[in-house]
Amino acid sequence: MTSQISTRTVHAGEDRRKPYGSLTTPIVQTSTYTFEDTAEIMGFMRQKELAGATYSRTDYGRYGNPTQTAVEGKVASLEGAEGALLFSSGMNAITTTLGALLSNGDHLVLVQEAYHRTREFAEIYLRRWGIETTFAAIEDPDALREAVRPTTRVVFAETPSNPYLGIMDLSALAGLADEHGLITIIDSTFATPINLRPSAYGIDLVIHSATKYLAGHNDLLAGMVAGPDHLLNQIREARDILGGVASPHDAYLLLRGLKTLDLRVRRQNDSAMRVAQFLDGHPAVQQVFYPGLSSHPQHDLAVAQMAGFGGVVSFELRGDLETTSRFIDLLRIPYIGPTLGGVESVVQQPVMLFSLDPAEREAAGLKENLVRYAVGIEDPEDLIEDLDQALQGSQQLGGAP
């Protein structure tokens, strides 16, 4: 198989000759797999015992599906990993992975900027199970190092982070992990394997909310974990017990979405850069957070580490909560919602979707004038024109302080 990622998005993980001569990998829509006779069952059980967690067929849908296997092979190829596992959602991938790798008395280091549901899982459930968590700033290597304890087993980070698009120094993280014998996990949802392959920097496990860029069409929920077999075997066993499997139909939709991943992400990279540059020069915008801009505090690291800077642009308006809400409502192209990574642009005012309690918003570090804009594949000139009219309209209606 060629090493070019655009070709692997189309062909990797799939059999060349498929059942019935089908061009696409079929949806194997069954919960149960039958056997011809007792001898076939015995052969299957022997193979299963010898192969551990990897074997050529299954007996029950919770343990695998041929459509799912094709997705896993494709993502493993794109991430440069030994293997990959498909889950029913990104959060299920995160919770199952951490649950499989951590035990009572262990310690987790988690970046402060992690997705709020990841933080909540650590603060509520891991704590309940006797696993402590320390939060560290993504841009502060010293804070990360100081957070490590003798009981630390896992370091979990996101890059870029949500919503301020902070960048984790992956080489430094891998070096710290080697020094202390830690497992490193990166949530690379915002980056995608088109823009970043954490395994190339020595990171152990890569997680994706496949709902976002990998699927790309806002029509399914799924999660992925990619990495070495010795860790995936532990996680697979936990998935088999906990049951967080994706349906065959969702696996098929994800497989279809992955085929255009390279095309979509490159378009979104280019469009987001143009949107960020426009916003960076607009008088109604106070600050833009985008790793591709030289004004980003970790721009040099992003340039060194990433092939592209992603499709999300976050920015703060010159104005208050009401001014920012008016701006959101005046936009004509993007939908208002909590997702990203699809072909449609989606915008949100994070404080409005996070909590109505001002104290909780402040504790989360979310400003009232923050906007997260997830760029789709629409024409960038149309997006910019729409942004301009909404910015002008929100300022005219309410004025800026």
List residues with catalytic annotation: 62, 115, 187, 212
Q: How many CB atoms lie within 10 A of CB 326?
A: 18
Helical residues (DSSP H) of 80-219, grouped into ranges = 90-101, 116-120, 127-128, 141-147, 170-180, 192-195
Q: Dihedral of the CA atoms 288, 291, 293, 294 (nearest 10)?
A: 120
Q: Are 157 and 187 in contact (CB under 8 A)?
A: yes
Q: How does strand 285-289 pair with strand 107-111?
A: unpaired
- Residues 70 and 257: beta-carbon distance below 8 Å: no
For residue 80, which amino acid is it? Answer: G
Q: How far is Cα 255 from Cα 257, in angstroms, rounded to an integer?
A: 5
Distance (Å, whole) CA 192 – CA 311: 10
N-term to C-term CA, the chain = 58
Strand partners, 66: none
Q: How many residues does the chain have?
A: 401
Phi (first) and psi of residue 304, to 5 degrees: -70, -30
- How many angstroms separate the CA atoms of 346 and 219, rounded? 14
Residue 221 in 3-state DSSP? coil
Peptide bond preceding 283: is omega within 30 degrees of 0, i.e. cis? no
Is 188:159 a contact under the CB 8 Å cutoff?
Answer: yes
